[in-house]
Amino acid sequence: MTSKSSRAEYLLRLDDACPTMDRKRWDSVESVVRRHSLHPIVAVVPANADSSLVRDRPDPSFWTRVRAWRDCGWMIGLHGYSHSLRPSQGGLVPINRRSEFVGLPADEQKRRIREGVQVLETHGATPVAWVAPAHGFDRTTVEALRSESSIRVISDSFSLRPTRNLDFVWLPQQLWHPREMSRGVWTICLHPNEMDDKEVKLLDEFIARHQGHFPEPTAAAKLAVPRGLRDIVFECIFLSFLRMRKKVTARTKNA
């Protein structure tokens, strides 16, 4: 799966699906995804309590839509439980200081995982992947996922390839908009609630330029290798880059 323009492969992840999502914007993104026959990871919030995700009236057909995604081969992700964020330490992917899960007692994390899975299962959409809100989760969360669910895929981490660690497959997530890369596997995480027409058009054009370079997440997961030194080194470098970029952005805003 190599083209003249790039040796990289891309996974697409769509975050913050819930009954009160912006249906018009999600319709636009879904139209692009279906036209190109992609199979994204879609992060579904089981019991949203985050007011920032209330973009529309509750959709009575939301769960029918989720089942349709499942039937099309989309990978259903458990996106936390309530998506309610609070200040916290960075967790296993330390790029934010807010989380729904980091630092909570094991029993509480298990409850949220268990009840979140039950919500999705009740609606016929058993989750396959874990997608932590704001990248916030810790080893206790991983243990809760192991004991309270059949999920064995985590959509997160910084690496150039899918890896195996802590008895889970980790599909790396390193991009927040379409960007040409030279090699490796890169997950592009998008938030359809926030996307305007220009951003949807850019996504459409990017996918068209990279036809054949968007494998199914399940296929990418099968290629996972044990996490090694090269992955640790890449993570350290990538985290340093992200932190430096945040500082530069903050200075620019305050200038």
* β-pairing verdict for 9-17 and 185-190: parallel
Question: What does the pLDDT look like over 49-79, one tens digit per residue?
Answer: 999 999 999 999 999 999 999 999 999 999 9
CATH architecture classification, 9-226? Alpha-Beta Barrel (3.20)
What's the pLDDT tens digit per position in 81-127?
999 999 998 899 988 889 999 999 999 999 999 999 999 999 999 99
The answer to whether residues 12 and 41 touch, using CB atoms and an 8 Å cutoff, is yes
State mean pLDDT over 207-223.
Answer: 96
Per-residue pLDDT tens over the stretch 2-46: 344 458 999 999 999 999 999 999 999 999 999 999 999 999 999
Q: Quick one: which of 150, 148, 173, 169 has its CA closest to 160?
A: 173
pTM for this predicted structure:
0.92
Q: With cut-offs at 50, 70 and 90, classify the pLDDT of residue 242.
A: confident
Q: What pLDDT is recorded for position 134? A: 95
The pLDDT score that the predictor gives to residue 249 is 63
Q: How far apart are CA 120 and CA 135, in angstroms?
A: 20
pLDDT at 5: 44
Q: Which residue has the tokens 């980091």?
A: 102
Question: Per this entry, what is the length of the chain?
Answer: 255
How far from chain centre, in Å, is Cα 21? 16
What's the rounded Cα separation, in Å, for the pair 152 and 170? 9
Chain-centre distance of CA 96, in angstroms? 15
- Residue 251 has a pLDDT of 59
**Residues 6 or more apart whose Cβ sits within 8 Å of residue 59:** 19, 20, 21, 23, 65
